[in-house]
Amino acid sequence: MNKTQVKLIEAAEHEFAKHGFHGASIRDITARAKANIAAVNYHFGSKETLFIEMIRHRLEPLNTLRIELLDDAVAKAGKRPLKIRRIVDILVRPMVESVVNGPQNRNFMRAMGRGMSEESEFMQQIYKDVLAKVVERFRLEMARSLADLPESVVAICFAYLRSTLSGVMQIRKNNLVLDTSIQFPDADTLVAYISGGIEAIAKDYRTQNK
Amino acid sequence: MNKTQVKLIEAAEHEFAKHGFHGASIRDITARAKANIAAVNYHFGSKETLFIEMIRHRLEPLNTLRIELLDDAVAKAGKRPLKIRRIVDILVRPMVESVVNGPQNRNFMRAMGRGMSEESEFMQQIYKDVLAKVVERFRLEMARSLADLPESVVAICFAYLRSTLSGVMQIRKNNLVLDTSIQFPDADTLVAYISGGIEAIAKDYRTQNK
DNA sequence: TGCCGAATCAAACGTTTGTTTTAATCGAGG
DNA sequence: CCTCGATTAAAACAAACGTTTGATTCGGCA
């Protein structure tokens, strides 16, 4: 990946984060990257492919790390299923800390969070290419951890987890709903929140069905 | 509000939900409403104003109900602050049930969820006009319920609550990340999840600072 | 019926969009 | 020095966009 391509991707992260996929224009992206208007189509083929490559560029290393951490934790736990909080931690912490360490990742997070609400075909392709495997892996691990709950309840828990992450990724500075705006979630509280929420659902179910 | 305006708003809900604000076109909206291309500008002035009125149309009754329920609960509680779970319930349940009762509200929810990630000026106007008062009210009530926590922690809790709601609103049928797709969250589990998450953050803070 | 404002309609407006084309420029290898 | 593939540049493309216009139709009241 040469210098122009990297500049284009970083400019794309900025513009897609700020205006969403349809709201961002190739002209603004190339202008920000100080490249020619034709550069996107020359290097990436299309606006959609640029978006896909932007996601892949940041997400693939992140997901590799997540899988490694999960594999380690599962190996150390032996036969015992992991605790929910542990699973959520492994899923969430690398993401949050990538934003803390690299400010550019913040734009990427927001761009991707917004993209996840798209239902165009190119977004489904992103899901299949760089997301599906990781999602399936974590979902299975969570189902194992909540083995006493019916599949439908686990599915709801997982949907809420995903919705929370998707919502958190879209948080921006000077957030509409926040005067006391937070910079970006810290891993500890976010993990506590999500796993606490899931455990509360599980607890409700258990007390209702005991 | 006459018949054409209602048709336009319902078509707008559908198109904005599916494609987002910038991805939806006035031509598609008017076509779906079986109205003329000029109808949006004639009746609402602009695409942005149509979006604003669409939000106001559904959100104002919902927020009125929320405030009524909250006032009642606070009155009955006397001096005692409401429990977190109660506050979240009042905030969330009317929203979820509006979707269960009226399928059209589902489109509205998704359109609004996507709109909340916009930072254009018209979105800030929506916030000021139809959202700010309710948000402030619930935030205060939550701060009262978590009076022993510092303001920054309450702000984080509130940000997560908001992010979860924003993410949940964007859930669609055949959600990318869900094979076993859920139709729409039910109020009970969603309330349990959010309040459980907030209480988990509070619990963490208290054990660390006792 | 005659009238007038409201509503609808087809057509066109000027921009902006993503993309393509064609020529110019660059940089390493023979 | 020349050549050739890779990259950049400027210009143009057709299509789609939100919006406006001006004529036409509609609906209730005098």
| Residues of chain B scoring pLDDT < 50 | 176-177, 179
pLDDT computed for residue B185 by the predictor: 84
Structure token digits, residue A129: 């290419």
pLDDT above 70 as % of chain B? 95
Q: Are residues A197 and B197, on separate chains, in Cβ contact within 8 Å? A: yes
* Residues of chain A positioned with their CB less than 8 A from the CB of B22: 19-20, 22-23
Give the chain A residue nearest B124 (alpha carbons). Answer: A176
Question: Which of A26, A47, A177, A205 to mutate: most B Cβ within 10 Å?
Answer: A177
Residue closest to sugar C1' of D17 by CA:
B25
- Domain residue extents for chain B: 48-208
Q: Which of A124, A177, A204 sits opposite B162 (nearest CB)?
A: A177
Q: Convert the pLDDT of each residue in A131-167 to its tens digit.
A: 999 999 999 999 999 999 999 999 999 999 999 999 9
Q: Are residues B188 and A176, on separate chains, in Cβ contact within 8 Å? A: no
Question: Which of A129, A163, A170, A179 to mutate: most B Cβ within 10 Å?
Answer: A163
pLDDT computed for residue A208 by the predictor: 93
With H, G, I as helix, E, B as strand and everything else as coil, classify residue A26.
helix
Mean pLDDT value across residues A43-61: 97
Residue B166 at interface with chain A, using a CB cutoff of 8 Å: yes
Q: Convert the pLDDT of each residue in B3-30 to its tens digit.
A: 999 999 999 999 999 999 999 999 999 9
The reply to whether A40 Cβ lies less than 7 angstroms from strand C is yes
CB contact residues (below 8 A), chain A span 34-73, against chain B: none
pLDDT computed for residue B34 by the predictor: 97
DSSP one-letter code for B2: -
Q: Which fold has domain A48-208?
A: Tetracycline Repressor; domain 2 (1.10.357)
Are B178 and A181 in contact by the 8 Å Cβ rule? The answer is no
Lowest mean pLDDT among A73-77, A89-93, A206-210: A206-210
Q: Which of A160, A172, A180 sits opposite B193 (nearest CB)?
A: A160
Residue B207 at interface with chain A, using a CB cutoff of 8 Å: no
The reply to whether B49 Cβ lies less than 7 angstroms from strand C is no
pLDDT above 70 as % of chain A? 95
H runs (alpha helix) in chain B: 3-23, 26-32, 39-43, 47-77, 84-101, 104-115, 121-126, 132-145, 151-169, 187-208
Of A97, A94, A101, A168, residue with least CA distance to A138: A94
Q: Which protein residues, judged by their CB atom, are less than 7 Å from any atom of strand D?
A: A 2-4, 35-39, 42-43; B 24-28, 37-38, 40-42, 46-48
Q: Are residues A127 and B203, on separate chains, in Cβ contact within 8 Å? A: no
Nucleotides of C under 7 A from a protein CB: 7-12, 16-22
Handedness of CA B169, B173, B175, B178 (dihedral sign): positive
CB contact residues (below 8 A), chain B span 133-152, against chain A: 135, 151-152
With H, G, I as helix, E, B as strand and everything else as coil, classify residue B93.
helix
Residue A123 at interface with chain B, using a CB cutoff of 8 Å: yes
pLDDT computed for residue B176 by the predictor: 47
Phi-psi region of A174 (alpha: psi -120 to 50; beta: other; left: phi over 0): left
For the entire predicted model, the pTM comes to: 0.94
Cα separation, A203 vs A207, whole angstroms:
6
Q: How far is the CA of B6 from the C1' of D30 (A)?
A: 31
Closest Cα in chain A, distance from residue B164 (Å) = 4
With H, G, I as helix, E, B as strand and everything else as coil, classify residue B188.
helix
Crossing angle (nearest 10°) for helices A151-169 and B187-208: 60
Crossing angle (nearest 10°) for helices B47-77 and B84-101: 140
pLDDT of A180 over the 60 cut: no
